[in-house]
Structure 1
Amino acid sequence: MATESLEQTKAEIEELEALKSDSATRLSMYREDLQVVLIDQYKHGRVQIMELIAGTSDLSELFSRMGLMSRVGERYADLIQKVKEAKEEYELTITRLNDRKLLEGQLVEEQRKKKEEIEAKIAEHEKLISQLKTDIAVLEKAMYQPVGFISPGLYSGVVRLALEHQGEPYVWGAAGPDRFDCSGLVWYVFRQLGVSLPRTVAGQYKSGRPISKDQLQPGDLVFFRNLGHVGIYIGNNQFVHAPHT
């Protein structure tokens, strides 16, 4: 079915509809001619109509009855054959037409499903693009964006613990107690003081309250490289962090 096209099938249906009409016209014309012949033969006593049709269920069976050709004469044999062929052509056309219409319905259903799939993918992509735009806007604001977290009473504790772990080995994904990545160090230090923070840089950024640089206090977090890195501010424009190298 993949090789079939809906346009091609519609064109074939249109051709078959025309052929059906032509076949029906020819069949009707030949039947009328044959009827005239049989009536003429009956009037002249050369064939008994009731004898011809007795026991027959359709025209095909009538044609096959023995002796029909000799009774109506050889000159009418061609007409009888034309009626038979026209009937067969008409029936074949009907069969082909029904097959094409069935295929047309299947192709229409396939197109409907494909359209729904495409529309669903477009909606999914639009949703993703919208989310990406939101994330980009957040990242653009996060270039060295300070975030306040804690009360003044915890400032000294955060700074002290952060300095204690300064110089510990950097291991991506590590969160203490003796090796860290940048967000792992922040998470570990605050956890020791009873403050629960998300584990990732992005999560930590969203959990805080953005502030200006002149509002920075020791213990606040500073973010760099579009949320690619985080450190703990300790005052005097300095911060403690777990560097990548």
Structure 2
Amino acid sequence: MASYNRQKQQLGDAIVQQQLDAPLGTTASLLGSNDPDEFIEGLGAVQALNSTRADALAEFGETSKELKNRRAQLKDRKDALDEAKQDADAKRAQIRKKYEAAKAQLARLDALEQKKFNDSDVDLDFDPKASGRAKTAINFALAQLGDPYVYGGTGPNSWDCSGLVMKAYAAAGVSLPRVVGPQMSAGKSVPFSALQPGDLVAYASMSHIGIYLGNGKVVHAPRPGKSVEITSLSGFSVAARVG
């Protein structure tokens, strides 16, 4: 934009100055000369001036075209951002609706049922048969049992599901992305029939993740209101091996 304004100003100044110096135009002034040498020299100067001005006009035209293209690109990007925001708002509204429905269902339970629903299982009655980095990651995750779930939590005293997985494997020297989908993509897909302790297990929607312990058990950070716990494989349907 600055280049466009500068070129526009220079061309405007040149046109104004030309009108001040030769109101009838440089060519008309030249034709009024009676000196042949002056006429020839002046003719060359006019040609040079016209060439310079043509170059400036061409440059200005290219700058103007580029500016127009950039404005079009910015408009396209703004339209795309507006559309993405609308999609995000719609998804947020859907999530909020599901949350309110789940909250209403929970409120209908009696106190004993609510306590059972919110209690986290932190007891493990077997030793996971893992070794190496998988063992280190499992040990780290198990050490966080009882820590509260906090959305966006990456420790040291609160966790969300992917934050726990990321830090557990970081303790084992394995760098994983921050969120569920990329974490699963960072590993090698394995069928549930071949699950080994230390494998990552996730929901098909990529909305939740945990670390497999063996014996059909998973350590994970479940949801708000609960703590890092041990659960079954129920709900988990895809697996990946890292490290």
On whether the aligned pair clears a TM of 0.5, the verdict is no
TM-score norm. by structure 2 comes to 0.41
- Decide which structure has the larger Cα Rg and report it: 1
Compare the two structures and name the one with the higher helix fraction.
1
TM-score normalised by L of structure 1:
0.41
